[in-house]
Structure 1
């Protein structure tokens, strides 16, 4: 499982043709700020690409809408009634890009490798896989594990046994020469850009898109400038006047999908080594009520974001699952300063002559980390600083490099930082909960957590997650009481302070390529950094001329 990654790219060229790489080459900008460091290990948190494009899952799960899983290396799967046995049928015609045949042994090896390496096992896979024959795998579990299905089938990147069995530390190897079954192969790597080329021997037929070139820039503004110059074909990120992309960028169109949930991540647990005022639940909830989300949406996100639930079920996609037991089913769009200051006073804070609250002689002063170049998030936290000042909370904004921000997030060496909670392998909030709120995916400060960066631990949430694993995902009535428990406990503690549901916006060159996802045909989550979603888009694209 690879989470929390934001990458970037751009290249030369000009005019409305865009991209600068020929009519069948797509130039992509994913958010990479500065040079690339080579890493095609699909299980590394700093992978630059490969999941879906080079290394394939067994099936593609569309998190944007509730489609049936689409076959990739797998062709069919089924559970036994108890949810303790998952049977998978594999395609017989796939082979590795070095020419060797793909078989069930590769799947078994990959799943065993994940189980044996905690650094690669962010979803807590604990099954036992066996090859029935060359095209059939059976995975057994000690207890019902229905919810493991989409993770195993949709987010396990199958690697070649004949190569990876010789890798001493598979969680750490950067895989400079990746060999996969996917529709693309690595053609060239340079720190400023790397290029994937179509796999001519791909079992699904060579993609019509012959090359994908990922290029590095210096942030959102340089991405918008490159888009304006027609130098990139696909960008996921903010641009000025987003509602008029087709007018401002001739030949280009845009699509916005509400998906990732923007939040102020807090290092919340003093028991796990977090320090600072944000370890106080009252402070976290005071910040929650002090935010003016309507203003944030207008100033930072050009009104492309939407409402968010403090229980972190998506208000649109998961509407039926949002708990009616929440105090706020939807976070308030306007600030409630009286609630914010009341929470602080009840927690023993008193307002000083400068208007800032203090406790035990210490000012309520917090630092929030944000990545340099992330113009929308920078605007957001600067706006928050002004909003929180009105509630007696001082917020200091600290811009840092992505590497520094990512390291601080992983090790818990921060008070606040702005990021998004991502979705899992299937359109089900269970996966967001199991990723970001399970005690199994966190660690003490100083050690790397992935991805429960807030250091949140709650026995009721852990028990509810365990119970959900044993219930058939189709039995929504049986699952809802556990969702109620998770959502109300999350709202009570608020380790991630909900901001808005981010409207993930992509700008794409419709004049150069056809087949892009649209509101009418949202066949994949259309984010250039989404994996394996971007590979599904690449497979659909064709040169327009």
Structure 2
């Protein structure tokens, strides 16, 4: 029987259609952005503001590209639909009865782009490397892998680990032992010349743009999409201008009058999916070195209540965003796992200044003559980092700054380059920054919690955390996450008490202050390429920056007319 993306406990997943996974779209006529020379080239804009800094290490928090395209997982798990995982480098997998052993069968026809054969030894090498390097281990993998033969791997865990399945199988990118064994610092090496098994390979890198080309020896056949060109622009406004001029084929981000994309951008279509939760990330944990007023939970709670989310949605997101849970599970996708024990099921859409005032004054803050609260002689003032050029987020933080000023909280927006923002986020060298909580490999709230709220995925300030950037650490949450790994994912009743603990503890602390569930919107050139996801066929989460989800879309696309 096939394994569902969430229902993946002890069933066996068989390989299906391995030889025909790459090209499934039907063709139709159309013209191409950038002229005939680019008719087989998908030109994308990921939101990069400023020059690219070369880094093709798929395990680096500042990598440019690689997961899914150059470096493959063993399987692809759809994280918005409860459907069967699709084989990539794996063929099938099976758990033992108590979830302590995972047996994986690999395909035998995959090659690295330098011509060497992919084998089980590469899988074991990759898993061992990830386990030994905390900054590379964003899934918290703790298994011990053994190559049974060239096409079979066994992973043993010291405790039941059902929930590790989609993470190990779908979120660890396989790398070649013969290339990586000599890298002294794999967690920080930028991997200038990536060698992978994926459907694409690096053709050219320049600071303003880089290009991937189709892998002619890809195990499932050379993709119909021959090239993907990634542009660096100056921000969302430049992206919108390029879209209007037909110079890019896919971007994920806001454009004016989003409801009328097909009218305003002839040949293009748009799709909006509620998936990632926009939040104010706080460096919250003083014990791990965080400094600033945001380390006080009363301040975080006051910000939470002082925000006017309805106004932010209107001004920054064209009302494409929606309500958000303070417990960090997705309201729509995870509705069956939303805890009934939360104080509030959703964050308030209207500000509650009285509540914010009560929280601050109870915590010893007093309002000064300038209208700003202070404590121990220090004003309640913080800096909020945002990437220059991210116009929707810039509007959101400017709006929040004004709203918070009315509640006696001074927040100063600071626009920085993506590289500076990303480095500060990883090292905890910020007070506030705006970002979103992404989801895991399968449609289950466990993964979001295990990434952003686990002690195992954070670090002291100055060291790189990945991805628990807030430095949140809670023994009850850690214990609940550990317990969930040993519960059969089919047993909803047994799992719910642990979700209750996780969500209520998150609500008490809100290290990531929830703003809204972002309506992730992509605009794409439907006249030039066919095979795009639709709301009726969400075979992958449609965001150009979502990895490996974007690679599944690249595999489905065909130039119009083919």
**Superposition TM-score tier, normalisation by shorter sequence:** over 0.9
Q: Distance in 2 between matches of 1:291 and 1:51?
A: 36
1:173 aligns with 2:189: yes
3-state DSSP class of the match of 1:17?
A: coil
**Structure 2 counterpart of 1:85, from 97, 101, 115:** 101
**Structure 2 counterpart of 1:34, from 28, 32, 50:** 50
Which residue of 2 is the match for residue 3 of structure 1?
none
* Cα deviation 1:419-462 (Å, max 9, x = unaligned): 11111121111111111111111122222211111111111111
Which residue of 2 is the match for residue 242 of structure 1?
258
Contact 1:198 1:207 in 2 (8 A): yes
Which residue of 2 is the match for residue 522 of structure 1?
538
Moved more, 522-531 or 426-435: 426-435
1:410 aligns with 2:423: no
Which residue of 2 is the match for residue 379 of structure 1?
395
Q: Distance in 2 between matches of 1:195 and 1:206?
A: 16
1:217 aligns with 2:239: no
The normalised TM-score by structure 1 is: 0.95
What is the RMSD of the two structures over their aligned residues, measured on CA atoms? 1.3
**Structure 1 counterpart of 2:139, from 98, 123, 144:** 123
1:18 aligns with 2:26: no
Which residue of 2 is the match for residue 202 of structure 1?
218
Deviation beyond 3 Å, 4+ runs, structure 1: none
* Cα deviation 1:327-378 (Å, max 9, x = unaligned): 1111111111111111112112222233222222222222211111111111
**Structure 2 counterpart of 1:114, from 130, 134, 138:** 130
Q: Distance in 1 between matches of 2:483 and 2:80?
A: 26
1:63 aligns with 2:79: yes
3-state DSSP class of the match of 1:507?
A: strand
Structure-to-structure mapping, 1:532-543, within 5 angstroms: 532-543=548-559
3-state DSSP class of the match of 1:311?
A: coil
Which residue of 2 is the match for residue 366 of structure 1?
382
* Cα deviation 1:216-242 (Å, max 9, x = unaligned): 111111000000000000001111111
Contact 1:16 1:230 in 2 (8 A): no
3-state DSSP class of the match of 1:450?
A: coil
Q: Distance in 2 between matches of 1:186 and 1:403?
A: 21
Q: Distance in 2 between matches of 1:37 and 1:385?
A: 31
Which residue of 2 is the match for residue 275 of structure 1?
291
1:44 aligns with 2:60: yes
**Structure 2 counterpart of 1:431, from 443, 447, 453:** 447
Contact 1:297 1:305 in 2 (8 A): yes
Length, aligned pairs only: 531
Which residue of 2 is the match for residue 104 of structure 1?
120
Q: Distance in 1 between matches of 2:425 and 2:203?
A: 33
**Structure 1 counterpart of 2:519, from 482, 485, 503:** 503
Q: Distance in 2 between matches of 1:443 and 1:114?
A: 16
1:464 aligns with 2:480: yes
Which residue of 2 is the match for residue 397 of structure 1?
413
Could you tell me how far 1:397 is from its partner in structure 2?
1.1
| Structure 1 unaligned blocks of 5 or more | 1-14
Moved more, 201-210 or 356-365: 356-365
Could you tell me how far 1:19 is from its partner in structure 2?
4.1
Which residue of 2 is the match for residue 10 of structure 1?
none
| Structure 2 unaligned blocks of 5 or more | 1-29
**Structure 2 counterpart of 1:353, from 334, 347, 369:** 369
3-state DSSP class of the match of 1:467?
A: helix
Q: Distance in 2 between matches of 1:41 and 1:363?
A: 42
* Cα deviation 1:237-267 (Å, max 9, x = unaligned): 1111111111110000000111111101111
Which residue of 2 is the match for residue 8 of structure 1?
none
The normalised TM-score by structure 2 is: 0.93
